[in-house]
Structure formats: structure tokens, C-alpha cells
Amino acid sequence: MIFGYFNSQQDFVDLVNGFLLNKKGILGIYLEGKSIELYVEDGYIKGFYAEVEDINPAKINTLSLLLYDLFSLLDHQKALFTFRTETAKGLFFQLDRSISAEELILQLQLAYQEFKSLLNLIMTPYATIRVLKPFGGMEHYDGKSFASVILTSKKPLVNEIRDLRELIHSGFLDIGQFLAPEKGRKTYEVDYVVQKVSVKNIDILSILESLRTGMFTGCISIKGAHSGYDLYFNRGKAVALYPYTHDFFDFLLNPEADSTMDVISIPKDLLEKLMLRHSKLKLIDGLSHDLVELGKIFIGIARTKFSGLLTLHKGNEKMHFVYKKGVLLASLLEDDQLKIVREEPYMDGFLLDLIPFEPMENFSEVLHLLLINTVYGIILRHNSQAVQSIYYHLATSDLFKVVEGSIYFRKDPKGNQKETLDFLSFLLDLGYKALGKEKLEEELENSLHPYKDIFKALEIEDYIKR
């Protein structure tokens, strides 16, 4: 298998007319979350694989679909390609007749010019068509999108596009309704509300309260010489904390003097995937570029409708590719800051992670860990005999551990709320027996008092399960 980039339209022409002339296999082309695969045999393209939405495959003009899908190559200067020796698969569209590489390029360039002239009239191929006055065959047009009409027409693509243009100019057809030019695609932005502000110069709790009341979605990133935390919000509610430790609450009370804070607004679709940066559930973990066929991975992601995060590490930089059902939502570069980019992936010198989607919310569990440590500390002070019972419980737990007198999670607690609450209930029962209910509640109130402003800023009662 080989892979590389088209750096210009001519590169695509040269590849198809030259390298593939005597080859037999599959040319995979990938750009902007979309893939198309051409089956080539003895210099002829005999079939292809392409994604089709909202159109009955049995009614599709296969050559028109092939040309239409290849239009995007002529709109972009760079596209990733792979070629592998492989026979055609059952999912491929079979062309009515094989087409030479040279003929494909000629038809593609001609159809593309005609298509651009049509776009000047209709703005988007997903606009629907309205018949203004009757004519023969009008049922093929009325109420359908322009894309649907040109892909299901029995006429050659160029002829159908020209007929559409003439029918519009002659007053037979008009646009019925404008739809999104790219269904399901959005333009995402990442915005730094606050960047590298010293915690000495801000009131962290006021910021937390402001983000909550402002229904903020994004991430607070705090970095110090010895500690660092990422706290994620969805519509004003804290949903995840990494690393997942209750030490974060003490850090808020007494942050390191040299700590800085970023407040980053991130759309929800990107946020839930970016949190996968902290996931340990990786299909590929730190694989060197020497062992990776990057093109095959990109095309495989599109073909399998993968949802999750593809990350390339190079030096101090990371490139994140965020996918939802095989569609690339956005590419982000992470170095000193996080930003949306439209750059090509690293070609060498990188390590690769591939992380499937899983829910990453864990803030409720982390909050309960703070309560666990509070009750644990009270029991230690008042009844050392109960400690052995606690240690036995911890020794048999896959979720908890003791480190230097505090209880921590062994692993990300997401999805383990029941076990977390069961352990908290166990400690509370020990505390009731050792101190009595009234004394324990008094001790809890005193121990949690330093955190009252944090609890108020985050509306902690929303997370407490009774």
C-alpha cells in the first residue's frame, strides 16, 4: 500500500493517468471528513464506493455520482490518497461501463465547469426546486433538491446540468427553498475568554459562578508548577475534572502562586470528543509514524463511521481530529493554546492515538470523593479501631486506593457512581456508629465549611445524591 497527498489538481490528473495505468486495486481519496474509493483494473475505473444520503441507490446514475463526488477534489489544493492492491467489494457501485482514467478527467473537468455555472443560480445543490409553469417531465424536478435531480437523471451529468440551467433561465423552474449548503456540517470556533491570566490577579470562585450563570460550555484549564487541572462545563454545569482528584478543591482554596488560568469556550459537539484526550480506552496508543499507514486510518475512519478522536503528537504539539459517525467535525492544533486549523496532518515524526467515543463525565464522582475523604478523616481522628475495616474494604476495591493518608480513585470513576456512593454510605454508617449521628453531622459541617464558597459557586447540591 502507498499513500501521499495531491498538492494540486495536476497531481490528481498525473496519478490517475500515470501511476494507475497498469494497476489493479483501490485508490482511496480522503479530504475534509469525506472519502471515495475507486476500483481500478488495467487502466480502467470499473466501480467505486461512495456515501449516499436521502437518495435511493437503485435510482442513482452511477457515473454522475462518481463525477459529483470528485468535484470536491477540484475545489481543494490538497487531498490525502492511498492505493492498495485489493479486489472490488460488494458495497461498490458498479459503473455501467468501465471508464478510462483520461476520459474520467476530461468528463470531470467539463462537468465541474458546468456545475459551477449552475451554482451561480442556485447557491447550493441542496436547494429544492419549484415548478413555475408546466412542461414535459416536470415531475422529475418539482420539490426535489438539485443534487437529487442531477444524481438520479438518466441523462449524462453535463446534459442534465445544462438542462437545469436552461429551465431556470426560461422561467420554468425556480428555487423553492434554500437549505444548508452542506447538510450536517457546522463551522466550529474555539474562543479564549481568558488566556494565561495569573490566579493571583483573579477571583477564581467569582469566575466559576459567572460561568455557571452564563450557561458556559467549554473548559477551564489551570496550570501551575506542580499541579494542573482541566474542568469541563456543559451549559454552566461542571461535568468532568481531569485529573480526577479531590485535591482540586483544596487547590481552589490555595492555588499555587505561579498558576495561570485559561477559560476556553468550546462547542458541545467538540467538547465531548476533546475530553477523550484524558481517556485510557485507546484503540491505538502512541504508535510511531514508522508503523502507521496514516491514509488507511483516515479512510477507515470514514468508512466505519468512527466517532471519537484521532491525535497526532509531534514535539510539544498535538493535532486533534474530531470525528462524529465518520465525519470530520474539526481539526485542532494544541500547543500553547487550542485552535481550529485547516492544516494537513504531520507526515512523519509523529506518534498516533486513536480513541473511540465514550462518555467522560465524572464530576459528580469526584465531588463524592471529597465527601469520602472528609468522612474518612473524621473517623481517623475519633475511632482508630474502625480504620482496619476501611482498609479491608479498600484492599478489595478496584476503584479506590489509599495514598499518603488520603483516598483516591485507581481509575477514572466515570460510570462508577453506584460504587462511589456505596463506599460513601459505608463510611457514613461507620461514622454514625463511632460518633453518633449528631456528633458526626457537626464534624462534617465543620470540616466542609472551608469549601462553602466553592459549593455555592458550583451549586454543588445539584450533584449530591441522597
Question: 122 with 241, same domain?
Answer: no
As given in the structure block, the three cell numbers for residue 368 are 463524592
| Reduced 3-state DSSP string for 209-267 | HHHHHCCCCEEEEEECCCCEEEEEEECCEEEEEECCCCHHHHHHHCCCCCCEEEEEECC
What number of other Cβ atoms are within 10 A of residue 439's Cβ? Answer: 14
* 206 and 248 assigned to the same domain: yes
For 282, other C-beta atoms within 10 Å of its C-beta total 17
Say if residue 97 is in the same domain as residue 208: no
pLDDT at 261: 92
pTM: predicted TM-score of the whole model, two decimal places: 0.74
Query: Do 99 and 190 have their domain in common?
Result: no
pLDDT for position 368: 95
Last residue of a domain, one of 257, 276, 295: 276
**Residue ranges in 123-203 assigned as alpha helix (H):** 146-152, 157-169
> Are residues 18 and 101 both part of a single domain?
yes
pLDDT digits (tens, 9 = 90+) for 147-176: 889 999 999 999 999 999 999 999 998 887
Give yes or no: residues 331 and 382 share one domain.
no
pLDDT at 183: 45
Query: Mean pLDDT in each 10-residue stretch from start to end of the chain (466 residues)?
Result: 73 76 82 75 83 74 90 72 75 85 86 90 83 88 88 92 92 75 61 89 88 93 89 95 95 89 93 95 94 82 88 94 88 90 84 96 95 93 82 90 92 92 93 88 92 91 61
pLDDT at 179: 56
Q: Which of 276, 309, 334 is the last residue of a domain?
A: 276
Based on the fold, state whether residues 159 and 19 are members of the same structural domain: yes
Q: Do 40 and 123 lie in a common domain?
A: yes
pLDDT of residue 175: 83
Residues 23 and 154 occupy one common structural domain = yes
Sequence length of the chain is: 466
Q: Residue 230: its pLDDT value, please?
A: 96
Q: Structurally, how many domains does the chain consist of?
A: 4
Same domain, 390 and 334: no
Per the listing, cell 474530531 goes with 322
Pair 19, 145 in one domain: yes
What is the reported pLDDT for 184?
Answer: 42
Residue 85 lies in domain: 2-177
**Is the domain of 269 the same as that of 294?**
no
Helix H or strand E segment including 270? helix 268-274
User: Among 276, 308, 342, where does a domain finish?
Assistant: 276
